[in-house]
Amino acid sequence: MKKLLEVKDLHVSFQTYGGDVQAVRGVSFDLYTGETLAIVGESGSGKSVTAQSLLKLISIPPGRITKGQILFGGNDIVAKTEKQMESIRGKEISMIFQDPMTSLNPTMKVGKQITEVLIKHQNFSKTAAKERAVELLMQVGISMPEKRINQYPHEFSGGMRQRVMIAIALAANPKLLIADEPTTALDVTIQAQILELLKVLQAKMNTSIIFITHDFGVVAKIADRVAVMYAGQIIETGTVDEIFYDPRHPYTWGLLASTPRLDIDEKADLAAIPGAPPDLINPPKGDVFAARNEYALAIDFEEEPPIYQLSETHFVRTWLLHPNAPKVDPPESVKKRMRSLSSTFEEPVLVER
């Protein structure tokens, strides 16, 4: 596959009265054409900031990219001016935000919000743009599109508004679609429909997707590869089957174990990761997860762990993989949760080892 995006050693900070919050610290990853990469982690781990940095949506005070490269099609987005970014946003890279009600303009009809993208980025005439807007609404599963283009966002349900957002995002046939927790506010039935819609449209358009989420159930349904973020860093990345069947970082174990499942014994306690994320104004010395890690070694509190490569696609940042480290396996409670997760998905994308 052809490499579409390369993020190299990305650092993003936000200026506050208490000091600079180092929200993203040395993030690196690649994305290939037609691939879906899921970025997962707790709230505040840096997922959305990383995604928004790809469009330089945080590049005005108090947020700024302090270091790194974002190579899109070989060109460094970090070096581009705001004027140059106008030809990339919406045309080359589009974004679906979490809450469509706050993303859509409540004073404009949805048809107008779609056609302005087509007119600006695709040079459509007003007549052709309106016809295409109807086609896009039909494509994302909205019935009676000829009528719907003349309605306002408040006249749509939450799921329909999200479909409108997808239509807007795909109007200019972008190479990269960033979906920032687009199904979080939806019920599970509508969530499944939106995920299936994205998969169908991706296959049709060969668009690459970066999917931001904290839900491993969503990850299993849509992703090809997974990057696990914690405290502004990617601490584990791999294919879906590597993350679900062979996770190596204790934080990944905790996320998997804390995923609720209806088929688990209702009397069993849902696992939780103890403690709280670190203060990123003054990040701790050593491994940022050490204070919450029951398997932490003495060196975790002194030195930041390197990234160990386990396969061509599997990378993990933990001292537990050092040749001299004691062998530590996931606890049985985590293994049970992992087996449950992997065996109950409606459309498994994993192969048991």
- Enumerate domains of the chain plus CATH numbers: 3-177+193-206 (3.40.50.300), 229-344 (3.40.50.300)
Does the pLDDT at position 58 exceed 90? no
Give residue-wise pLDDT tens across range 273-319. Answer: 889 999 999 999 999 999 999 999 999 999 999 999 999 999 999 99
Please give the Cα distance from 102 to 243 (Å, whole number): 33
Tokens at residue 250, please? 């204790």
The neighbouring-strand residues paired with 281 are none
Reported as a pLDDT band with limits 50, 70 and 90, residue 24 is: very high
Listed in order, strand segments (DSSP E) in 17-111 are 19-32, 36-40, 63-72, 75-76, 93-96
Which of 29, 11, 348 lies closest to 176 in space, CA to CA?
29
Q: Is the bond leading into 323 cis (omega within 30 degrees of zero)?
A: no
Per-residue pLDDT, averaged over 344-348, amounts to 43
pLDDT of residue 346: 44
Per-residue pLDDT, averaged over 29-38, amounts to 96
Query: How much is the mean pLDDT over the chain?
Result: 88
Reported as a pLDDT band with limits 50, 70 and 90, residue 338 is: low
Reported as a pLDDT band with limits 50, 70 and 90, residue 60 is: low
8 Å CB contact between 209 and 179: yes
Which of 181, 199, 139, 187 lies closest to 164 in space, CA to CA?
139
Please give the Cα distance from 251 to 249 (Å, whole number): 5
The neighbouring-strand residues paired with 220 are none
Please give the Cα distance from 9 to 350 (Å, whole number): 30
Secondary structure letter of residue 35 according to DSSP: -
Reported as a pLDDT band with limits 50, 70 and 90, residue 347 is: very low
Which of 228, 206, 208 lies closest to 219 in space, CA to CA?
228
